[in-house]
Amino acid sequence: MMYCYARVSTDGQSVDAQVKALRAAGAEKIFRETASGAKTDRAQLRRAIAALGEGDTLLVARLDRLARSTRDLLNTLAQIADKGAGFRSLADAWADTTTAHGRLMLTAPGGLAEFERDLIRNRTTEGRERAKANGVKMGRPPKLTPHQKKEAIKRRDHGEETLAEIGKSYKVSGWTIARLAHLKGGIMTEQESAARTLAESQPMTFANFLEDMHPSQLIEGVVQVWGVEHGNYGKREFIRHPDLRLHCDNEHCRGITFFRFSNGDTGFNSAKANVFITYQCSNCQQNTKMFSLHLRKKPDSAADCYKFGENPPYGVPTPTRLLRLFEKEREIYLKGRRCEYQGLGIGAFVYYRRVVEHQKNKILDEIIKVASKLNVDPSMLDALTKAKAEVQFSKAMESLKDAIPQVLLINGHNPLTLLHSALSQGLHNESDAECLDLAHTIRVVLSELAERLGQALKNEAELNTAISRLMQKRPET
């Protein structure tokens, strides 16, 4: 019986041409494999040799499909001979172990293949060293400037924002922010610099792309996007579906949970494809996340990935308290949020500024409520009331530098002063990326202010309720 073995080195290659030639030569059973020829332990080759019996023949398309070193070649041929079987190569007619002449000739090509492999490796190593000596930096260019890296590290260490939120403001993934090394006295150590360069040279994974990249963004060379499996009907290329960590707003979750692939497109047999894939929260088993993508296949399981959109929309849901605060300008705020998550800095900044300026009095009303509950100094209430009557937003904010209850301060800073600082920037003097940074800052401060306002009023209500209950249960005298 004639058994055949076909092999390619990487997922991006195909055994189809080998299989066609082997079938034309009368192949009865073909073992296919994707593995480097430098590996001596190959599962499908092991199975092919195990299947051989007395008088059988193992056929390959070319000699280098069987082995890439003399030692490996001789060991493999010895295993075939122990089975009482022969070996042949289609492209090398002289490679036939059924004759003494063929057995002698087989050792020479194996040595040449090994010699050629060593030459290629040496040339590659020498070329890389020459390039480094000439000042060429290997790998991809840095995604962040030194200034952006310092700024991102400070924001990350401050702990008020998630890695994903910080990354979005620089149009990188949260994974990139997490890998940034710490600065010591403003200067990186040699080891930290080397570690940072190595980390940043690593390509983005498909999981990172789905988790961290906003829609309308093309990322080239994303890895771990697709794979190959071999079955009874031949080779099948498929889209990988890694587990994701996403925000779930179900009442049983309300935070970051694992989402796992539920349904959608799985095949990837063409050079490019538009796909829909749906994930489901593994905790509540109810909420889902759908992605619409365009993938362009590249070698070694990589692909250029473009995200058309996702549903629910990209990003962490907007806090209810914040939407309640901007009830009349809710849609305008959400438009700003969508612009921010799509990297449209100028649009996001304009929408957020309009919301804050139009809802100035609503914000001040809520602050006055808190101040009244806390029985603050009357002069503070008077300053807040006068600011409400001020028509110009900038003058109103400037008059309130010290007129805000302590419980509403954000890390010791007046949130109104922080908002005024961000909103006073001249729009025409800033780049889109700088506007995106400002928009992000405005949203974070607004979210924290809304949270503190709600918490302060809630605490006061709970305290009043507790006192009322205690008064009702007070024993009569």
What does the block give as tokens for 354? 């309009």
Cα separation of 281 and 263, whole Å?
Answer: 13
Cα separation of 268 and 5, whole Å?
Answer: 25
Cα separation of 272 and 45, whole Å?
Answer: 32
Write the CB contacts of 24 (distance below 8 Å, at least 6 apart in sequence). none
- Exposed e or buried b for every residue in 241-255, given b needs 16+ CB within 10 A? bbebebbbeeeebee
Helix 345-358 × helix 330-341 angle, to 10°: 160
Asked if 396 and 441 count as a contact pair (C-beta separation under 8 A), the reply is: no
CA torsion 347-352-353-359 (nearest 10°) is 150
| Residue bearing tokens 């940074």 | 437
Asked if 457 and 371 count as a contact pair (C-beta separation under 8 A), the reply is: no
Cα separation of 445 and 451, whole Å?
Answer: 10
Cα separation of 327 and 121, whole Å?
Answer: 66
- Vertex 367 angle, CA 366 and 373, to 5°: 95
- Which of 9, 262, 282, 399 is labelled catalytic? 9
- Note if 9 is an active site residue: yes
Cα separation of 183 and 224, whole Å?
Answer: 31
Catalytic residues: 9
